[in-house]
Amino acid sequence: MEINKVGIVNVTGYAGVELARLLSQHPQVELVSVTGRSTAGKRLDEVFPHITGSNLIINTELGDVNLAFSAMPHKESAAEVLPLLERGIKVVDISADFRLKDADKYPEWYGFTHPAPQALEQAVYGLPELHRRQITTARLVANPGCYSTGAILALAPAVEKGLVGNHAIIDSKSGISGAGRTLSLKTHFAEVNEDATAYALEGHRHLPEIIQELNLLQPEQPSSITFVPHLIPMTRGILTTCYAPLTGGIAADKRGEAEIRQIYLDFYKDEPFVRVTASPPHTKHTLGSNLCLVYPTIDTRTGRLIVISCIDNLVKGAAGQAIQNMNLMLGLPETTGLEAIAIYP
C-alpha cells in the first residue's frame, strides 16, 4: 500500500496542531512536512509536547507532499495555496479564502479583493454531506467554517425539503478554542472564565457561507438568516440552536415531529459522521470526535421547527473534517483515521 505524503502549512494554530495530532495517528498517510513562522526551526514536539513520537522540524517552506493543508489565516492563505496548486499538490484550505463562490463577497465580508476569482469556481466547499462527489475529484477543497458546519448540517434536511420558511435564526454557543491561539483579552482566562457573551452582532463572517449553501439546497427561497455567535467558558464544542417557522404542511404536533425526525434520519442515513439523536445532544458527546449530533423537534405551541446540533469545533468543525475531505480526495475510505470515540466525561 502506498502511503500518501501530506503536509501542513502553519501548524502552530489550534486547527493546525489538531491536524498534526490526527494525521500522526492516521494509518494511511504520513505527515512529512509542517511549516510555521515564529516557531520555525523548532521540533514540533517541543512546541506541542502532546504530539509524541514525532521527529518533525517546523520549517518555513513546505516539503514534497501529495496533499497539503493550509491552516493560514484568511487573506494570507490564498497566497500559500495558489502556488501549491500550481505545483500539482492537492490542497485542503482550512481558511475562508475559497469558501465563497461569489468573489464580490470577499471585499464585503473579509475586506480584501480576492486574488484568484477563477480558483473560486474550481474550489469545492468541503462539506462531504452535501458535496461528496465533487470533493472526490477536487484539487482544491475549501474546508467549511466551524459555525457553518454546525448550522448547515442542522438545517440542510429541512431546507432541502422546503419545510422551513426563510426566517431562520441561528444561535450558536462556542468554546473558546474557536477564537484561536492568538493572544487577546477576549480569550484571556480570567476574562472569559465564568462569562458568557454574544459577539459579531453586525454580521459574522461565517454567515455568507451558511446562506450560500442553504440557498443551493433551495434556490427559490432566498435565505433571510440571522446568526449570532456566543462565547461560553469551555475549551471545545459548538452547540447551535436553530429556529425556523415550519411550512410545507408539516403539522405542529407529535406526528409532525415524527415526520421531521424521519426526514432527518433519511437525509443522514448513510452518513458516517452525522447522528440524529433522540434527545437534545451534548457537546461533551463530541469531544475529540468527528461526529455531528443533530436533534430536530417542533415547538408545538408556535409551530416552529427547532434543530440543535453539536460538534467539536476543532474536529468536525476544522481538522477532522479536513481529513475527511483528504480521505475522499485521496481515494481512501472516508472514515480512516477518524474513528475515535468522544472522550467522556
- What residues are labeled active site? 146
> By C-beta, is 91 or 207 nearer to its own copies?
207
Told to check if 14 binds its own copies by CB under 8 A, we report: yes
> By C-beta, is 188 or 255 nearer to its own copies?
188
Told to check if 308 binds its own copies by CB under 8 A, we report: yes
Q: Which three cell numbers stand for residue 175?
A: 468554546
Least Cβ distance, residue 24 to its own copies (angstroms): 6
- x/- string (CB under 8 A) for its own copies, residues 220-239? ----xxx-x-x-xxxxxx-x
Which residue in the set 12, 95, 289, 324 belongs to the binding site for its own copies (CB under 8 A)? Answer: 289
Q: C-alpha distances in angstroms, 56 versus 21, 60, 204, 307?
A: 12, 13, 36, 43
Told to check if 1 binds its own copies by CB under 8 A, we report: no
Told to check if 275 binds its own copies by CB under 8 A, we report: yes
- The stretch among 90-98, 102-110, 196-204, 262-270 that binds its own copies (CB under 8 A) is 196-204
Which residue in the set 126, 288, 320, 337 belongs to the binding site for its own copies (CB under 8 A)? Answer: 288
Q: Left, alpha or beta for 141 (phi > 0: left; psi -120 to 50: alpha)?
A: beta
Which residue in the set 6, 287, 292, 318 belongs to the binding site for its own copies (CB under 8 A)? Answer: 287
Rounded to the nearest 5°, which phi and psi values hold at 211?
-60, -45
Give the footprint of its own copies on residues 48-67 (CB under 8 A): 48-53
Instruction: Specify the pairing of strand 4-9 against strand 67-70.
Output: parallel
Give the footprint of its own copies on residues 141-180 (CB under 8 A): 167, 169, 171, 173, 175-177
Q: Which three cell numbers stand for residue 158?
A: 429541512
Q: Which three cell numbers stand for residue 80?
A: 500559500
Q: What is the DSSP string of 86-122?
A: HTT-EEEE-SSTTT-S-TTHIIIIISS--S-HHHHHH
Which residue in the set 306, 318, 319, 322 belongs to the binding site for its own copies (CB under 8 A)? Answer: 306
> By C-beta, is 78 or 231 nearer to its own copies?
231
Give the footprint of its own copies on residues 239-258 (CB under 8 A): 239, 241, 243, 245
129-136 long-range Cβ contacts below 8 angstroms, 24+ apart: 129/153, 129/156, 129/268, 129/271, 129/273, 129/274, 130/156, 130/213, 130/216, 130/217, 132/328, 135/325, 135/328, 135/329, 136/328, 136/329, 136/331
> By C-beta, is 116 or 245 nearer to its own copies?
245
Q: Which helix (H) or strand (E) holds 153?
A: helix 146-160
Give the footprint of its own copies on residues 15-34 (CB under 8 A): 17, 21, 24-25
Told to check if 284 binds its own copies by CB under 8 A, we report: yes
